[in-house]
Amino acid sequence: MKKLINKPEDVVTDELNGIVAAHSDLVRVHFDPNFIARADAPVKGKVGVISGGGSGHEPMHGGFVGMGMLDAACPGAVFTSPTPDQMLEATKAVNGGAGVLHIVKNYTGDIMNFEMAADLARAEGIEVEAVVTNDDVAVKDSLYTAGRRGVGVTVLAEKMCGAAAEQKRSLKEVADVCRKVNGQGRSMGMALTSCTVPHAGKPTFDLPEDEMEIGVGIHGEPGRKRMKLQTAAEITEMLAGPILDDLPFKSGDSVLAFVNGMGGTPLIELYVVYNELAKICAGRGVKIARNLIGSYITSLEMAGCSITLVKMDDDLLRLWDAPVKTPGLRWGV
């Protein structure tokens, strides 16, 4: 295992201390229970937007805390759900009196723990809504999931819900944005290599030197199929085709196209994939109105990529374009 770490059991704490050292102008980190919150939280009268999940997917979610996106993020151990007390304390810390939205990726542990935290917060008088993202078209049911997995759409929903909350929309309205983005979003990913969870010390799965896995999950969960390595054009078609067919996206639709690196894939390859995706979308009459290209929801050092498309409307475009100031995503300010 070759990693820039100290002890495997200290990775998340060391990373959080790095965030403290780097970004104390934007966020503060609470330890034990661990959560990252906006430096100015709670913002009075604004819906608080929270997410969380296992570490190892950076910059998601902790890198998206700040003005215009998340109010707090709860990092679990690597690839392990955070605990209800993290989510409860984060919920209390960001409650500005207008309620708190929990954005939850569809993994069994995350859902169970966020539900428990929501119940505890409600018992303390905080209004909580939860929206589950489940945009991965690769498989129905998976290693840690009943139903579809929540993946790339989560990043985009966090951005647009954060913007809606900044506009002082109500809890129901901010949750509606999340439901819409998830409902109109679809994703699929692929892996060229496995990744190694630090405390496991060996690759999560084996993938021969000439093979890839289509439809892989962000923790290395099995996908649709393993096959010999193909060209970027063929791989992009294998991801984009099922995504476009599933919603379905139709000629004339306007989309946000997100080409995401899994952590070990360089940017040059993501642009090669984006080029293929743009051709496929053009061929179907789907207009890419906005794009995001980079490694935003990762699986440690896994090589590979995922594609997410969200059907946009004027309101979503305005929410996407709104200013955001976080360590991992920033524009307009």
The least CB distance from residue 129 to its own copies, in Å, is 30
167 contributes a contact to its own copies by CB under 8 A: no
Active-site residue, selected from the candidate residues 23, 57, 61, 102? 57
Query: Measured from the CB atom, is 116 or 293 closer to its own copies?
Result: 293
14 contributes a contact to its own copies by CB under 8 A: yes
Strands 304-311 and 254-261: antiparallel
List beta partners, residue 292. 258
Residues 197-256 interacting with its own copies (rule: CB under 8 A): 209, 212, 229, 231-233, 235
Binding residue for its own copies, selected from 183, 224, 269, 318, defined by CB under 8 A: 269
Our measurement of the distance from residue 202's CA atom to the centroid of its chain's CA atoms, rounded to an integer in Å, reads 25
15 contributes a contact to its own copies by CB under 8 A: yes
Binding residue for its own copies, selected from 116, 227, 247, 272, defined by CB under 8 A: 272
The least CB distance from residue 84 to its own copies, in Å, is 23
199 included as an active-site residue: no
Residue with tokens 């960001």: 94
By the 10 Å C-beta count (0-12 exposed, 13-18 middle, 19+ buried), 252 is classed as exposed
Binding residue for its own copies, selected from 124, 143, 241, 271, defined by CB under 8 A: 271
24 contributes a contact to its own copies by CB under 8 A: no
Is-contact 157 181, C-beta < 8 A? yes
Query: What single string gives the DSSP state of each residue in 27-43?
Result: EEEETTTTEEEETT-S-
Is-contact 136 188, C-beta < 8 A? yes
Cα Rg for the chain, rounded, in angstroms? 19
58 contributes a contact to its own copies by CB under 8 A: yes
The least CB distance from residue 164 to its own copies, in Å, is 22
Distance CA 77, CA 9 (A): 9
193 contributes a contact to its own copies by CB under 8 A: yes
Q: Catalogue the E-assigned strands of the chain.
A: 27-30, 35-38, 48-55, 72-78, 100-105, 128-133, 185-191, 211-214, 225-228, 254-261, 287-294, 304-311, 324-325, 330-331
Query: Measured from the CB atom, is 59 or 152 closer to its own copies?
Result: 59
219 included as an active-site residue: yes
Query: Interhelix angle for 171-183 vs 153-166, to 10°?
Result: 150
Query: Measured from the CB atom, is 123 or 268 closer to its own copies?
Result: 268
**Residues in touch with its own copies (CB under 8 A):** 2-7, 11, 14-15, 17-19, 21-22, 55-56, 58-59, 63, 192-193, 209, 212, 229, 231-233, 235, 263-276, 278, 288, 291, 293, 295, 298, 300-301, 303-305, 325, 327-328, 330-333
Q: Which residues form the catalytic set?
A: 57, 219
